[in-house]
Amino acid sequence: MFHVLTDSFKSAINKIRFADDEKSLKNALENLKKSLLKADVHHKVVRDLLRQVEVETKIAGIGQNNFLKSLRANITQLLTVAGKQGFVFASRPPTVVLMAGLQGSGKTTTTVKLANYLKLRQKKVLVCACDLQRLAAVEQLRQLCLANEIDLYFEDNEKNPLKIATNALKKAKDGLYDVLLIDTAGRLAIDEELMQELVSVKNSLNPDEIFYVADAMTGQDAVKSALSFHEKLALSGVILSKYDGDSKGGVALGIAHQTNVPLRFVGTGEKIADLEIFIPERIVSRLMGEGDLETLAEKTGAIIDEKKAKAINKKIKKGEFNFNDFLEQMESMKKLGSMKSLMGMIPGLSSMAGKLKDVDLENSVEMKNIKAMISSMTPRERETPDLLNNSRKRRIAQGAGMSQNDVNRFFKQFQNAAKMAKRFSGKSGMKDLQNLLAQSKQSGIPR
Ligand SMILES: Nc1nc2c(ncn2[C@@H]2O[C@H](COP(=O)(O)OP(=O)(O)O)[C@@H](O)[C@H]2O)c(=O)[nH]1
Ligand SMILES: [Mg+2]
């Protein structure tokens, strides 16, 4: 999701060498300024950021290292405002979260994304339908919750959102829920009635969090509307939705600083898995092209069943990883969200993410072909990949309606994947991985 910004950072950083003159510093700053403005970072934010970097770099000595150090420190500072990070649980459950925002900003989708995020982390979550403005709103939420096995509280004949929210809170307490998420009505523009509705829910439920869902595609308008909501409601977090439409990605850099409310999560797609936690240090790593393995590990950790993972790991070590395991791994990958967003978290791959068309794992041709090939195998072949000789491959190709070349190519990929997995699963595996990371960190950003 940050590949546009990441690319522009990289190109700016490449303008300045290890020991260099003022002209290349100017060049680098100019380059950065252009791309930040193009990405719709507010001009004052850009000016202050670059001014600071310029002064600091000059004091420390012009060169790539000092430039990077200063850029990193100042962006981290820009993204960091006082307040909570990620999802924070109240000391006494249920943690009550009020979701607010304009109509169409992504409140309902984000509410379900957040519920799903928490559910994957073994939390008991109740969603409450308090958007009574639009006829179809409750139904939309009901469908989304149903599809994602999330508990929903709604009332058919009640017209007062405050009553519904109050009843939902009672249910959340009685049912020992960890979290209650309240989806509310939006308006096309900010209006007094809507604010009153939100304020009354706020006053009587006393939520632990008030999240404002801001549509990243509206650029600086997202910041303005967040500010007006903040004035009335005292927001505790912003969630930036639709961050996958990346032309105006710069809002993410400025919004916390401009509103003085921490950016907590970012929505990166229409699918329910497309929600990412926003932790400034990690985002800065990503912007600098170093990836974000912590978030990746956390994401996979929430999705992968530990027992199963251990069993697979054992198989990999023994060289027994087979096609059934492969399929299963692919299936669980789907839950991780889009390929593009995952690639952005891997050091060295982040710059590739932008060039990649977003692969929809579930519906990609590759995935379908692989499934077709595996289902053309006999159970024994699936368990024992080494069985595949030429005549078996020919049969599988025919069965899947593909060429033998396709099967060969897939088989090679599978073998490579198994080999890679084996390399990293051994005792030295973690070390290997760490060395790899250390190398990519040392080599700095230009890659
Ligand atoms: N591409 C993309 N679309 C999103 C995202 N979040 C929400 N949407 C879409 O935005 C539209 C409005 O979302 P909705 O949740 O109904 O907005 P609400 O009126 O604030 O509740 C829907 O079509 C969603 O699928 C996102 O992160 N990325
Ligand atoms: Mg809605």
From 98, 99, 109, the mutation candidate for ligand 1 (largest count of ligand atoms within 8 A of CB) is 109
In a domain, 290, yes or no: no
Strand partners, 266: 240, 276
Is 108 close to ligand 1, i.e. is its CB under 6 Å away?
A: yes
Q: Tell me the ligand closest to 132's alpha carbon.
A: 2
Distance CA 76, CA 321 (A): 42
Domain identity same for 239 and 378: no
Helix axes 323-334, 404-425, angle to 10 degrees: 80
Residue 256 CA to its chain's centroid (Å): 17
Domain endpoint, select from 50, 79, 108: 79
Average pLDDT, the chain: 85
In a domain, 423, yes or no: yes
Is 267 close to ligand 1, i.e. is its CB under 6 Å away?
A: yes
What is the model's pLDDT at position 229? Answer: 94
What is the model's pLDDT at position 128? Answer: 97
- For residue 171, what are the domain limits? 95-279
Q: What is the CATH number of the domain that holds 419?
A: 1.10.260.30
Which amino acid is residue 343, in one-letter code?
Answer: M
Domain identity same for 310 and 433: yes
What is the model's pLDDT at position 353? Answer: 63
Domain identity same for 269 and 405: no
> Which of 75, 433, 86 has the alpha carbon at shortest distance from 277?
86
Domain identity same for 303 and 410: yes
pLDDT of 199 over the 90 cut: yes
Domain identity same for 256 and 310: no
Q: Are 276 and 87 in contact (CB under 8 A)?
A: no
The model's confidence at residue 349, banded by pLDDT at 50, 70 and 90, is low
**Averaged pLDDT, 259-279:** 93
Strand partners, 127: 152, 181
Distance CA 210, CA 212 (A): 7
What is the model's pLDDT at position 205? Answer: 96
Quote the pTM value: 0.76
Express each pLDDT in 414-431 by its tens digit: 888 777 777 766 655 555
What is the model's pLDDT at position 443? Answer: 44
Domain identity same for 251 and 105: yes
In a domain, 398, yes or no: yes
In a domain, 13, yes or no: yes
What is the model's pLDDT at position 440? Answer: 47
Is 257 close to ligand 1, i.e. is its CB under 6 Å away?
A: no
Dihedral-angle region of residue 244 (phi above 0 means left; psi in -120 to 50 means alpha; beta otherwise):
alpha
pLDDT of 176 over the 80 cut: yes
In a domain, 288, yes or no: no
pLDDT of 53 over the 90 cut: yes
Which amino acid is residue 36, in one-letter code?
Answer: L
Distance CA 238, CA 253 (A): 12
Q: Give the distance (Å) from ligand 2 centre to CA of residue 111.
A: 9
Of ligand 1's atoms, which has the minimum distance to the CA of residue 245? 1
Domain identity same for 222 and 175: yes
> Which of 392, 423, 432 has the alpha carbon at shortest distance from 408?
392
The model's confidence at residue 76, banded by pLDDT at 50, 70 and 90, is very high
Higher-scoring residue by pLDDT: 327, 52:
52
Q: What is the CATH number of the domain that holds 148?
A: 3.40.50.300
pLDDT of 18 over the 80 cut: no
Q: Which of 211-220, 341-350, 357-366, 401-410 has the lowest mean pLDDT?
A: 357-366
Domain endpoint, select from 79, 103, 131: 79
Express each pLDDT in 131-160 by its tens digit: 988 878 999 999 999 999 999 999 988 889
Is 218 close to ligand 1, i.e. is its CB under 6 Å away?
A: no
- Percent of the chain at pLDDT > 90 equals 52
**Averaged pLDDT, 32-52:** 92
Phi, psi of 181 (to 5 degrees): -110, 125
In the block, tokens 């050091």 appear at 347
Domain identity same for 44 and 186: no
**Token pair of 1, please?**
């999701």
In the block, tokens 């982390």 appear at 121
In the block, tokens 């790539």 appear at 64
Of ligand 1's atoms, which has the minimum distance to the CA of residue 241? 27
Distance CA 212, CA 194 (A): 14
Distance CA 142, CA 335 (A): 21
Number of domains making up the chain: 3
Express each pLDDT in 275-319 by its tens digit: 999 999 888 888 887 777 777 777 777 776 777 777 877 887 787
Distance CA 348, CA 357 (A): 17
CB within 5 A of ion ligand 2: which residues?
107-108, 131
Domain endpoint, select from 279, 310, 340: 279
What is the model's pLDDT at position 373? Answer: 92
In a domain, 85, yes or no: no
Domain identity same for 61 and 197: no
Q: What is the CATH number of the domain that holds 37?
A: 1.20.120.140
Domain identity same for 117 and 61: no
Of ligand 1's atoms, which has the minimum distance to the CA of residue 213? 20
Domain identity same for 221 and 114: yes
Domain identity same for 201 and 303: no
For residue 10, what are the contacts with CB-CB under 8 A and spacing of at least 6?
289, 351, 445, 446, 447
**Token pair of 21, please?**
């003159």
In a domain, 111, yes or no: yes
Higher-scoring residue by pLDDT: 9, 441:
9
The model's confidence at residue 211, banded by pLDDT at 50, 70 and 90, is very high
